[in-house]
Amino acid sequence: MTYRPTVVPASTYRLQVQPAFTFDDAAAQAGYLAALGVSHAYLSPVLAPAKGSQHGYDVVDHSHLNPEAGGREGFQRLVAALRAAGLAAVADVVPNHMAVPTPASDNAQLWSVLKEGPDSPFASWFDVDWSVPDRAILMAVLGRRIGQVLADGELALDDSGDELVLRYYDHVFPVRPGTEDLPLAQLVDRQWYRLAHWRVADEELNYRRFFDVDTLAAIRVEDPEVFDASHALLLELLRAGDLQGLRIDHPDGLADPRGYLRRLAAATRAADGEDGGSAWVVVEKILEGDETLPQDWECAGTTGYDALQRIGGLFLDSAGAEPLSAQYAAVTGETRPFSAIVDEAKREVVEHGLYAEVHRLVELLAGICHDHVDLRDHTRRGFHESVVELLVAVEQYRAYVVPGEPAPADAIEVLDEAAELARHRLPAERHDTLAVVVDLALGRVATEDERTAEFVVRFQQTCGPVMAKGIEDTAFYRWFRLSSLNEVGGDPTRFGTSPEEFHSFAAKLSREWPATMTTLSTHDTKRSEDVRARLSTLSEFTDEWAAAVASWRDLATGHRAAELDARTELLIWQTLVGTWGRSGPIAPERLLAYLQKATREAKDHTTWTAPDEAYEAAVERFATGVLGDEAVLAAVGEFVELIAPAARTAVLGQKFVQLTMPGVPDVYQGTEVVDLSLVDPDNRRPVDYDDRARRLTALDAGSGPADLDDEKLLVVSRTLRARRDHPEAFTGPAAAYSPVPSTNGNAVAFARGPVDDPRVVAVATRLPVSLERLGGWGEHTLTLPEGTWRNAFTGAELPGGATRIAEVLAELPVALLLRA
């Protein structure tokens, strides 16, 4: 791989730019971020999104910066403020899709295609199936069937603006030239789009979309013209130094992720010539199991979900798995393994929500095999059954097959394993059909038919949505043995990470992806890092937790309607414990919004498209009843106090490990102090930067930490400053990772910097309850490298050699030791 980043951030701080937090609002925090110790502000997507967008992933105009956040002028003020504070910026990029906004005219490229069809200069932008050219693009926006809408006069022509449009309430559509004078029903039928009832989309949608979101239409960034037009402004900002890096959203959705990253590296290298470095680029990539990022992807690494899983596992007691499983089965009656939940959920997604995508694959297969005599005698039904079973069985987001190239060994292994599982689920007469599907997916069928390459690409583009919608957005909301493990990129069955496993993972990152990003919280995480840290302590309090839940259920009997299922009730208890703040329980509006999302995403009692009012009322009644019940809240509060010391250790420990391990650590907005947020949009709430700045000023003036918020801020700020001030220990070619020997497995310790002369040693406590049960640190020791070491958190100095852990961790459960 020729990729070499010009600049590697020491650390990043994620800011959610939106109408409520503009470029100028971000600029106002430049001084605070510099004081905190970060090197780069990491901005959510900055290009112009749909009006009112709270996240920016629904881009409508690649040639302008977000006007509701301040536009180009506001962005330049932010860049100037960051430079004045000694900082720079990196930004999120959305290459996979654009918004289908309301009104559609806000997306000029889409509007042109809707108006002119395949003759539009932007027809190549969108991944549209033009096989039915008279009505190619399905616009499934109607509240009723098209006949009913026409009969009741809900569609009308409107010439009050710059051009004649077809209006349906807030939706407007262009009128195809030459059809203006037709009767309305004929006019509607002659457009380059088909207006349809919204329920039609999942079965007949004929443009590629982001997962199952109809309002995010995929674009063909593999087309050089589309790449150039959609990246021109971003590349301009990179060349000007206004941006120094990019985070790539959902590369698995692209036709050719490797080719995209190569093109991006070449484009960002242009200013320095072929021998110059490229922009620092990380990809949002979920790696399943032992999957690794392809070495031929020209990027610095992932956005850190792989690190998140391993870090969290360090603070989870594997001995708690069986007791928590037993409790879950006893409370809910659910005894199936999580794998069965995943299989069920993926199958539902494939057969319903992603039916249109599966149908397109089947039509490709049928067309290819019909035109090649040696591939005939396979039916559409056989193809459909085989594709469904293969998609359900594939266990990662992509197989990395490139048309025209031999399939990599890893890709063959992934699909062969999936095929073996699928064979057991298919009747014998479908096995030959399945074999054809696998061979075509791996590009092993030699034909001149362009559709074979298209199938290779589309099959991989479908695997990702099946994984995301089936596991993350369905199965993770159906199984709650310990909800902190139901995280993006996580595996709820992977219960704990030993220090040896973590050292092996970190050492591999240091060797192969030293500039990758690490993270604990993002806009996509289902629970913030501190909610997960507190819930992880339940693995050490399994008996107390089981008794507490049984007691709370008895106390809450009067709030429980017959419709409420025990699984959702257990989720409510875990959520209450995880989000319990200084002032007590989570606010009702936050909890209810979360529970609505969680139960609808589960899709087994209620859904977004068909809400069950009785069930949702039962959930709301229980949640509000519990939040208003003083006896219940007193009992929950007492339990939170019981686990508070262990939670403190996990909160500080996991953050400290993330900030000191190999990679570029990202701090999600506000999480430098304890943050108890739930899934989006809860994690986009405003951040009180004034409070954080006051706390940091007091710590810098010599005040001791007053609470856990201050302790976390102390750990974050001192560690980020150490990264900034000692880059050779963390980001340079000599920034090695070396485990530090310990006589007690409750301490995880490692050194950073040259192997023969490390500059930093990090020490963190794990599993404090088991540690206490075994008598504490006692005379256990760490073997520090030779020299004198100063604790950046306390100022204490320690000699090298065998040193008592109790002395190293006398004041905090973590220690940052810098060579004096």
pLDDT in tens, 547-558: 999 999 999 999
Write out the DSSP string of 596-654.
HHHHHHH-SS--SSS--HHHHHHHHHHHHHHHT-HHHHHHHHHHHHHHHHHHHHHHHHH
Counting Cβ atoms within 10 Å, is residue 797 exposed (0-12), middle (13-18) or buried (19+)? exposed
Phi and psi torsions of 90, nearest 5°: -125, 160
Torsion of CA 305, 310, 316, 318, to 10 degrees: 120
The pLDDT assigned to 134 comes to 63
Instruction: Read off the amino acid at residue 500.
Output: E
Residue 525 has pLDDT above 80, yes or no: yes
Using DSSP, state whether 126 is helix, strand or coil. Answer: strand
Query: 166 pairs with which residues across the strands?
Result: 157, 173
The pLDDT assigned to 273 comes to 47
**pLDDT tens figures, 251-296:** 999 999 999 999 999 999 865 445 568 999 999 999 998 899 999 9
The pLDDT assigned to 448 comes to 82
- Residue 174: CB atoms within 10 A of its CB come to 21
- Side by side, the strands of the sheet bearing 88-93 are 301-302, 280-283, 245-248, 88-93, 40-43, 12-15, 664-668, 517-518
Instruction: Read off the amino acid at residue 69.
Output: A
The pLDDT assigned to 447 comes to 82
Pairing of strands 781-791, 797-804: antiparallel
Confidence band, pLDDT 50/70/90 cuts, at residue 1:
low
The pLDDT assigned to 814 comes to 98
Instruction: Read off the amino acid at residue 287.
Output: L
The pLDDT assigned to 374 comes to 85
The pLDDT assigned to 250 comes to 95
d(Cα 803, Cα 820) in Å, to the nearest integer?
Answer: 16
Report percent pLDDT > 70 for the chain. Answer: 98
Mean pLDDT value across residues 476-503: 96
Cα 255 → chain centroid = 20
Counting Cβ atoms within 10 Å, is residue 657 exposed (0-12), middle (13-18) or buried (19+)? buried
Mean pLDDT value across residues 570-576: 98
Asked if 575 and 678 count as a contact pair (C-beta separation under 8 A), the reply is yes
**pLDDT tens figures, 510-522:** 999 999 999 999 9
Structure tokens at 400: 């990395």
Instruction: Read off the amino acid at residue 209.
Output: R
The pLDDT assigned to 135 comes to 64
Domains and CATH numbers, the chain: 13-95+222-272 (3.20.20.80), 104-217 (3.30.1590.10), 341-465 (no CATH), 735-820 (2.60.40)
Torsion of CA 379, 380, 381, 382, to 10 degrees: 50
Residue 303 has pLDDT above 80, yes or no: yes
Supply the pTM of this predicted model: 0.95
Asked if 156 and 116 count as a contact pair (C-beta separation under 8 A), the reply is no
Instruction: Read off the amino acid at residue 442.
Output: L
d(Cα 208, Cα 217) in Å, to the nearest integer?
Answer: 6
Asked if 579 and 678 count as a contact pair (C-beta separation under 8 A), the reply is yes
Cα 764 → chain centroid = 27
The pLDDT assigned to 276 comes to 63
The pLDDT assigned to 792 comes to 98
**pLDDT tens figures, 600-633:** 999 999 999 999 999 999 999 999 999 999 999 9
Mean pLDDT value across residues 49-56: 95
Q: Which helix (H) or strand (E) holds 245?
A: strand 245-248
**pLDDT tens figures, 747-793:** 999 999 999 999 999 999 999 999 999 999 999 999 999 999 999 99
**pLDDT tens figures, 366-383:** 999 999 888 888 999 999
| Angle of CA points 448, 452, 454, to nearest 5° | 120
Pairing of strands 40-43, 12-15: parallel
Structure tokens at 595: 């529970």
SS3 content of the chain, % helix, strand, coil (to 5): 50, 15, 35
Mean pLDDT over the full length of the chain: 95
The pLDDT assigned to 410 comes to 94
d(Cα 734, Cα 754) in Å, to the nearest integer?
Answer: 5
**pLDDT tens figures, 160-181:** 888 999 999 999 999 999 999 9
Residue 508 has pLDDT above 80, yes or no: yes
Mean pLDDT value across residues 201-218: 86
**pLDDT tens figures, 733-758:** 899 999 999 999 999 999 999 999 99
Report percent pLDDT > 90 for the chain. Answer: 92
d(Cα 428, Cα 463) in Å, to the nearest integer?
Answer: 24
Q: Helix and strand tally (H, E) in the chain?
A: 29, 24
Using DSSP, state whether 154 is helix, strand or coil. Answer: coil
Q: Which helix (H) or strand (E) holds 112?
A: helix 108-116
